[in-house]
Amino acid sequence: MREAVRLADQARIQFMEQRQQETSRTGLVRPLLGLSLGPYGATLSPAQEFDGLYPPPYGPCGFNNPNNMKTKSTSFFNSPPPYLSTTSETSIALEEKAESELCSFHLGRLLVFAEDEATWSRIDCVMFETVPLLREGRAIRRAVGMLQGTMRLRVKGWRMKPWWVSFVYPEGKCPEEVWTGGPRICMAKIVNEMMKDSLVGANSEFARPSALGINCTQPEFISSLVNEMTDALGSLPADDAAARPWLTLYPNGGLVYDITTQRWIRHPEKGVDSEQKYWAESVLSAARRSMPANGATVSPWSGIILGGCCKTGPAHITELGRICYSTRV
């Protein structure tokens, strides 16, 4: 794992040297090196980044658990709140246990990099990506807080890198259910629990991310999702809203994955060129939803990081750059 960081840094150095020779210019922008950490579901087979079906103790039900084939759910609860029964008390305890186990999973991986000074010094930012569950988002906040506490005791002046949590929204919705068979967790709750300072005040182990975002989601959903995120962020109490995180936005390229054939399928009405143009316009449209509106003079976001996820390539980014520069965004 550490070797991957060293190789990425080596590639960055070679790129800078090559660019220096080609342009004979000084002051070239140094590419940033991001440590990409996926969700626990990425370690499962089949992978569970999109469905969020985690086996105990990480969740209520794994994808391949034969005892739960008829009741697969991402929630520990079988009925709507308020949770007052003894059964609900058990569900709350299991939920807390799952969050704790997910925290340990993420903390263990973070320590692999943070405990090696050479590796940590090469990293510019840490990205928790394709997270399907709010439960896991809270666990990540706690893991980062625990990492900070641990490393500051060991290394004087140690600092956490800028970091973000990027959620995935298959079909435009969070995979996590409020209760089994019930509605999905709403965007307002996700933003609130990822950004509110009360978690930090109640338990110093919780840290607040530098950015919050969306990735690995189809482009047709991102404008409405960003609109919901921006409204939710702007509705936070003043102390929480003052944090003003960055928005990270890097959707999929627009192809659809066929789980039967295990292949990516292009939309029959879109050619390659129109697909890239549609993708870039979708990203730009979503980015505009994060800007001040309804008479506001300041966006609740500090800035925006745009990019691409699955099945995007240099041509997609080139097209995005072209329309951003042409429209002066």
Residue 84's pLDDT is 55
Question: Which residues make beta-bridge pairs with 163?
Answer: 126
What per-residue confidence (pLDDT) applies to 201? 46
- What is the reported pLDDT for 274? 72
State the alpha helices, DSSP H only, in the chain.
2-23, 86-114, 117-122, 134-154, 187-195, 198-202, 219-234, 238-241, 272-288, 314-327
CA distance 122 to 137: 25
pLDDT tens, residue order, the chain (329 aa)? 999 999 999 999 999 988 888 776 666 788 999 999 999 999 998 889 999 999 999 999 888 765 554 578 999 998 887 765 666 788 899 999 999 999 999 999 999 999 999 999 999 999 999 999 999 999 999 999 999 999 999 999 999 999 999 999 999 999 999 999 999 999 999 999 999 876 554 445 789 999 999 999 999 999 999 999 999 998 888 777 678 899 999 999 988 766 567 777 876 555 555 788 999 999 999 999 888 766 567 888 999 999 999 999 999 999 999 998 887 66
Contact 123, 33 (CB under 8 A): yes
Cβ-count burial of 120 within 10 angstroms (0-12 exposed, 13-18 middle, 19+ buried)?
Answer: buried
Are β-strands 211-215 and 163-167 bridged in parallel, bridged antiparallel, or unpaired?
parallel
User: What is the model's pLDDT at position 204?
Assistant: 57
pLDDT of residue 293: 65
Residue at token pair 């509110």: 196
DSSP H or E stretch at residue 166? strand 163-167
